[in-house]
Chains A and B, each alone.
Chain A
Amino acid sequence: MIEILPGFLPVFLAGLVVNLEIAFASLVLGLLLGLPLAVSLGAGRALAAPAGSLVGLLRAAPTFVVMFFLLNILPREIQIAGHDIQTGLLAVILANAAYAVAYIADNGLVALRALRAGNMAAAVLFLPNVTRAFFVLTLASSMAAAVGTPEAIFVTLRQAERLPALSDQILLFAFVMLFFGAVLQTVFAIINAVRAAILHRLAPA
């Protein structure tokens, strides 16, 4: 197993970059669409009702199913700003964006209400929440493996199916699980520390 790591690691890390790109693009879309929705949710009933229905629908739509739906209805050849975009990749980004929009709208509304109530500490917590969403999206982006996008889990599965011994395959999976566990636990610990620092700094003396 050890002998495959020098060849596998660069491919795996390149795949991880794809995960981060998917998460970033989904989050940007989530912010662009989720924040106006959050404002609408906090506005009068005429705006809040349709916005609430839309957010409810986005919250209920399973990301994996949305991805397959988009994969099958989007045109095969898509160009954005002169660049050819793989349909599978776009489907994953948009499916994750659906989750991100609902998440940002919900958290944005909480932040907005806190801001109106003058509770700056609660409002600023929106930022670490968005960072947390980014890493949740990074994890969720691994479903792109189902449509052949070469992200980290996809390349791990490809590598595993070529390993002749089952013990090696299990070791490879354990390695990747521990990698994700270590990285994300560290990130979440940092986010929690930042949250605590913000709360501490903004707490009334």
Chain B
Amino acid sequence: MRHLIAALLFLAGLATPAQADSAAALQALVDQARARATTQGCEAVPRDSLAGVLCNGHIRVGVRGNYPNFGIADGLGADTRRAGFEIEVARAIAARLGVEARFVTVTPANRIANLVERRVDLVIATMGHTLQRDEQVRFIRPHYYQSTTVVVGDRRLPARNWEQMAGRTVCVPLGNADTLHLVQHGVRLLIFDSPQQLVDALKREICSLAMHDDSFFSNSFADPAFAARFEQKLAVSALPWGMATPPGSDLAAFLDGLSAQWHAEGRFLQAANGFPIARDFLEGQRTLWSSPACTTAGATPAPGCLGEPSDTTLPPTRFAPDVDRFEAWLRNTLGIAITLPMLKTEVAFEAFLRGIVFSLVLVVGSIASTLGLAMLFASALCARPAAARIAARMATGVLQCSPLVLLLFFGYMVASTLVPYSAPVALVIAVVMIGLYNGSSAAQAIGEFHATQRSTSATWPPLRGAIQGAAVQIMSFLVNATKSSAVASMVGVPELLNELTDITSFTSERIMTYSFLLIFYTLLVSLVVTLMRSLQGVFERRAAA
């Protein structure tokens, strides 16, 4: 029978001899399953096996219900209308088996659970094939599609390589591991809960750059208005998408062979017709699987031609098990459910430590620059030449009334003409700008005290006396410098806020992370306030003596 099918296909000119053999081998698998169902009885075969599917007369396929061009569901219950590339693939598989396709809507959160608990026989639901998921379900290879994580942005923005991307803000969805690539290139992140919010944010100009799968953006680019405003800027990384069956299902072996055959025949490409999705991967796979090197006579695809799953594992810290135990103890003993993602993986822990170090350096630097620049401006404001006083008054007037955010970006822009972006450069810019902003206000307080002294004194009062007189205001501006130091994250200083935002973007944990951040900075400010009060006490005692 198998040889007869192969001969017919070959004679009909539909396949090469090897492809014809492969198709025949697949048909043999179906025939064997049907024979098994007949001899053992449908009750005796597992429901999710190939024989079970043939027995039931339908295949339960888990698909997306809200992913444009891949799996969209419209309506409820039996009246649900579905459309998309993955829906077409599922229907074609059902047709190939001669059974009905019964769709079950799944989400990224429950698609694997649906398979493991055998509520579906097959999942075709935008699922990336990773080594971690290999441990839970059986992925079908060759992969049926590949999504590339891309950065999309305003056409007018000169941001077409990693160098031009450094220092910019990119909007990202929560829980995307590819944000690590952005962070490594000095990109700042603004996190959104869902991918759909990214498109809205782009359209409303809240974001000028956004990162997500090209498959997701394909629907937006199908809109001429969107395509006229935005373009793909960068490809970040590729992730193969795989169909998957429950572990141990013999349906997988059949689908492996079928996928190779359909890539060779261009059937996946046909299924993509009518949907504005990227076809590069499908075309590449067609060329690959129709090449002699990848064509086999059996039902099993040539192993050397199969794409590998992605490895998205982040190496854990050596104390990650202790952190897990601590979390469990808190949960079981005190009923407090917290997670500490910043302590669990090497990459997160390094970022966490880096953030703390940069925050401390930033605070110390900001206090020092505020004090130094206050003295510099004050010496001009209290100088004998009127021209120096007027010039200093104008400069401090503008600096105090400019929003700090604007000053930071202004400094960043000027510095970028001299040196390329780096974390230390951003730190220096932030320290100088925070110093200018708070130092100008502190200097004005000194200047006002000096002016009061001048009005009542016959001689030119010394600067030192004015500084002592304005000590309270100077200290309050040093505290302000500490409080405002976190704003430096806006120009890419990798202080704790920035680092924890990066960690959140790939761990998805937010409440504990940002609570820790708030406690850290509040304690830091309180420490500076206490130090300033001690200093103030020392000055007052000295003045009294």
Residues of A bordering B, CB below 8 Å: 57, 59-66, 68-69, 72-73, 76, 139-140, 142-143, 145-150, 153, 156-158, 160-162, 164, 166, 169-170, 173-174, 176-178, 180-181, 183-185, 188
A164 B158 Cβ-Cβ under 8 A: yes
B409 A173 Cβ-Cβ under 8 A: yes
B42 interface hit (Cβ, 8 Å):
no
B483 A63 Cβ-Cβ under 8 A: yes
Q: State which of B201, B405, B514, B526 has its C-beta within 8 Å of the C-beta of A153.
A: B405
CA–CA, A142 to B404, complex, Å?
8
- Residue on B with the closest CB to A187? B401
B401 A160 Cβ-Cβ under 8 A: no
B522 A162 Cβ-Cβ under 8 A: no
B413 A170 Cβ-Cβ under 8 A: yes
CA–CA, A64 to B430, complex, Å?
15
Task: Knowing A76-B193, A153-B405, A161-B208 are in contact, say whether A62-B522 is a contact too (CB < 8 A).
Answer: yes
CA–CA, A148 to B501, complex, Å?
15
A185 B401 Cβ-Cβ under 8 A: yes
Q: Can you list 17 A-B pairs, Cβ within 8 angstroms, ordered by A? A: A60-B483, A60-B522, A60-B526, A62-B485, A64-B497, A68-B514, A72-B504, A139-B403, A142-B404, A146-B190, A146-B490, A150-B206, A160-B413, A161-B168, A166-B416, A173-B410, A176-B402
CA–CA, A6 to B157, complex, Å?
21
Q: How many A-B residue pairs have CB under 8 A?
A: 129
B501 A68 Cβ-Cβ under 8 A: yes
> Nearest Cβ distance between residue B337 and chain A, in whole angstroms?
15
B403 A170 Cβ-Cβ under 8 A: no
CA–CA, A60 to B157, complex, Å?
39
> Nearest Cβ distance between residue A138 and chain B, in whole angstroms?
9
Residues of A within 8 A of B410 (CB): 170, 173-174, 177
> Nearest Cβ distance between residue B399 and chain A, in whole angstroms?
8
A62 B486 Cβ-Cβ under 8 A: yes
A69 B518 Cβ-Cβ under 8 A: yes
CA–CA, A142 to B406, complex, Å?
8
Quick one: which of B191-226 are within 8 Å of A by CB? 193, 201, 204-208
Residues of A within 8 A of B406 (CB): 142, 153, 156, 173, 176-177, 180
- Residue on B with the closest CB to A86? B206
B205 A62 Cβ-Cβ under 8 A: no
B409 A57 Cβ-Cβ under 8 A: no
Residues of A within 8 A of B157 (CB): 161-162
